[in-house]
Structure 1
Amino acid sequence: MPLGSGEFEEAWPRIVRALASFTGSLDDAEEYAAEAVARATAHERAGGRPIESYAAWCTSVAKRAWLDDARRRTVERRLAPELARPEVADAPDPCGPSDDTAMDADDLSREGLDDRLALLFVACDEALSPTSRMVLALRVVCGLTIPEIAGHLGVQETAAAARLTRAKRALAEARGSFSVPPPAERERRLPVVIACVAGMFTVAHRTVLDPADALADTGRQALSIADALVAAFPGDTEVRGLRAVIRLGLARRPGRVDATGTALALDEVDRTRWDRDLLGAGLDDATAAVSGDGRFAIEAAIAGLHSIAPSFERTDWRRIVQLYGALEDRWPSPSVRVARLVATAQAVLAGENGWAGRSVTAVEQELASLETRGPAYASRDAALALADLEWRTGRRERAAQRYRDLAEVVDVEPLRRFCLRRALTPP
């Protein structure tokens, strides 16, 4: 029977992890896993026997394909001695895993480590540059496309693709074979792993406002990985902060679009549609993370304030601005700066005490600078923030022109509809 919703997401990391252990290569594992999945699809279309376990079926098919190719390469080397190098005689047998890769999927399962986490810890190897780790993890484990990765990191698609290729090559050269790091090494790699899962959720939160089904719900997949991280590191405040951000984001997601699939501004959201159970669980995580002062502990606090506010007007904008300032100190990012400026403008408009030295005009000047000189994702957010400020301060004609321009370039359909709606609203 065909793969059901969520089955592919569950099977894929298990297949890749088992193959990486068997072949000793993360690159080979991804390639042969893709080939096996394609064969499974062809098998079903041809009316073959039902596949009871896709992970087991695809792993078996992929291993046989890898062995066939390895044997063929061995024969080619034997029949072309002029290409042989002296060290070939001492090389491990390519027809089977070496001692370094003898750990199979069953051995790894006995460690109690989630398959996706195992792959993330491998991809986030310190032998790679921070950006290379992110690209490799987001593509191979989190399943993001090259355009999505490029947009998240603020780089060109060609640059992201090149970094992915270099990362795979560098990992193979540095480690020689696939190996899940021991617990102490996993602790050192944890911050990058957390950042990768956060990146996965950020892309989902920005681009998939209303997923059609579970297969398209990258946000829920990010939550599943966050759950596995909490199970592995229950006392880590950054891990709990990460899950708080994801839970609270997903809890508020039902109110992000209207019945027509058009995105809603924050002051238009119907808060009664929020998932109260998930909201409560997210607030529990945020409370657990509050003793920390890292990036995700602060992000959890910000998400918590948005979640407990009874309305847009009664949101504690002053406290949110303060938290964004602390977040910017620990994680200076154009997106954080845009968010701080937006919150500052809301505090000014709400007449918060202590904001006499700030003005909407000053905020708009900073946003305009980010719009013209920031990376693509920050530029878009700054443009949307400028349009919203003009809208809220009565400059409707200028705002409408901004929204018309944005509708031409925004590629997220619910957001494009929102821009068109405001562009066509009479002043």
Structure 2
Amino acid sequence: MRALDGVFRREWGPAVAALARWSGDLGIAEDAVQEACAEALRSWPRDGVPDNPGGWLVAVARNRARDRLRRESIRPGKELAAVLNDESADAPVMHRVRDDELRMMFTCAHPALERLSQLALTLRLVSGLTVPEIARALLLSETAVGQRITRAKNKIRQANIPLRVPPPELLGERTPHVLSCIYSVFTEGYWSTAGPSAIRDELCDEGVRLAGELRALMPAELEAHALYALVLLHDSRRLTRIDAAGVLVPLEEQDRRRWDRGRIARGLDALRRAAGSAGPYLPQAVIAAAHATAPTWEQTDWVTICRAYDLLVRLTDSPVVRANRALAVGFRDGPEAGLAALDGVAHDPRLVRSNLVPTVRADLLRRSGRHREAVDWYRKAMELNGSEPGRVFLRRRIAECGG
């Protein structure tokens, strides 16, 4: 079942995007792909996974959507007939139009939708993230996320918002949303917030692919180069982030000889192309580059990293950025300085559902030798951590501190 779950997550976005392009309706596309996944759960264990699982899902989903269109006759006359009689795509090719998912992202970025609704809808439809996963990513309640997704889909339907990449003059205003969505996809794969696996390879791969597609679509967009650099530099370390048992390995303990030097080189090249960008992905890529190029943990350039965090705070005023900056300050100036910096953001209400603050505080306390206090904060972090590998790692830290 876990193997099939990985297939469904990998193929969900392309399938929904292909069905949305074919039917012109996001709701029909999502429902049809869900029904196709349910049919796969019944038939694949018996018959085996097909050679082209994505094509299989699209074919079955298209049949389900065609049946629904016939039953409901939701499209008037000629338009309905055109969709129902369109046999030209009956032999589905998953990436015939390479920007299907980007088309969906740009559709979800329509200015008629609220920003958080744009992001929630995109993460659901394009990436197949569940409502609880999206809620953790956006630091919102599951109820709020569900309501935002429903309202956004209704708005697209009622306003007849076209499912297409907008003309060039409108790309710029929607690009920040698309960049944010792509990075959220990659982040959920690289730092999985829940479930049995610390890393979800299919989401990492999808984030890198989409970042590359967007850069190719918009070669003059500096932030697209910066995002591509960021995901490549992070992804270069993916294989060393867990050990053979699936346990998280912290950055300072990773085997740097196993980092993907090809990805690091491509990431650094993209970083150079991003020079001059005024957005948030360039300083993040600088931080990732500082880690990727440090010969050893002890030689990490924390001065450059903290400088990049300072810029990122000015650009975003994000509590997540402030908490991560506090940890970097702890490495540059000592744990007590890091704890003082963390106190400035620890009570931000936007972090109430996140385990970030207790995890950072526990780590700084451990490094300062205050092990008993660290144990208490590691336990608080465990209460807020939905990832089993994350909890295993925290239990290891508790044991190291004598808890």
Alignment TM-score > 0.5, same fold:
yes
Q: Which residue of 1 aligns with 2:348?
A: 373
CA contact (8 A) 2:197 2:387 kept: no
> Quick one: which of 311, 320, 325 aligns to 1:340?
325
CA contact (8 A) 1:367 1:383 kept: no
Q: Which residue of 1 aligns with 2:388?
A: 413
Q: Which residue of 2 aligns with 1:387?
A: 362
Where does 1:3-402 land on structure 2 (aligned, <5 Å)?
11-44=11-44, 47=47, 53-74=52-73, 92-93=77-78, 95-97=80-82, 113-175=98-160, 178-207=163-192, 216-349=201-334, 360-361=335-336, 363-368=338-343, 370-376=345-351, 379-402=354-377
Alpha-carbon distance in structure 1 between the residues aligned to 2:4 and 2:375: 43
* Matched residue count: 397
Residues 1:28 and 1:318: Cα distance change in structure 2 (over 3 Å) = same
CA contact (8 A) 1:24 1:178 kept: yes
Structure index of larger Rg? 1
Task: Tell me whether 1:423 sits opposite 2:390 in the alignment.
Answer: no
TM-score, normalised on structure 2? 0.85
Alpha-carbon distance in structure 2 between the residues aligned to 1:6 and 1:398: 39
Q: Percent identity?
A: 32
Alpha-carbon distance in structure 2 between the residues aligned to 1:214 and 1:400: 25
1:30-64 Cα distance to aligned partner (Å, 9 max, x none): 1112223433554555659x966555554444444
1:330-359 Cα distance to aligned partner (Å, 9 max, x none): 12211111122111121112xxxxxxxxxx
Structure 2 unpaired stretches of 5+? none
Q: Residue 184 of structure 1: CA displacement?
A: 3.1
Residues 1:390 and 1:112: Cα distance change in structure 2 (over 3 Å) = same
Alpha-carbon distance in structure 1 between the residues aligned to 2:79 and 2:181: 33
Q: Residue 19 of structure 1: CA displacement?
A: 2.6
CA contact (8 A) 2:8 2:37 kept: no
Alpha-carbon distance in structure 2 between the residues aligned to 1:397 and 1:7: 44
Residues 1:411 and 1:15: Cα distance change in structure 2 (over 3 Å) = closer
Alpha-carbon distance in structure 2 between the residues aligned to 1:112 and 1:362: 52
Structure 1 unpaired stretches of 5+? 78-87, 350-359
Q: Secondary structure at the match of 1:371?
A: coil
Q: Secondary structure at the match of 1:263?
A: coil
Residues 1:265 and 1:127: Cα distance change in structure 2 (over 3 Å) = same
Residues 1:94 and 1:400: Cα distance change in structure 2 (over 3 Å) = same
Instruction: Provide the aligned C-alpha RMSD in A.
Output: 3.5
Alpha-carbon distance in structure 2 between the residues aligned to 1:259 and 1:26: 40
TM-score, normalised on structure 1? 0.81
Q: Residue 230 of structure 1: CA displacement?
A: 2.0
Alpha-carbon distance in structure 2 between the residues aligned to 1:313 and 1:361: 19
Q: Which residue of 2 aligns with 1:356?
A: none
Alpha-carbon distance in structure 2 between the residues aligned to 1:20 and 1:66: 10
Residues 1:192 and 1:309: Cα distance change in structure 2 (over 3 Å) = same
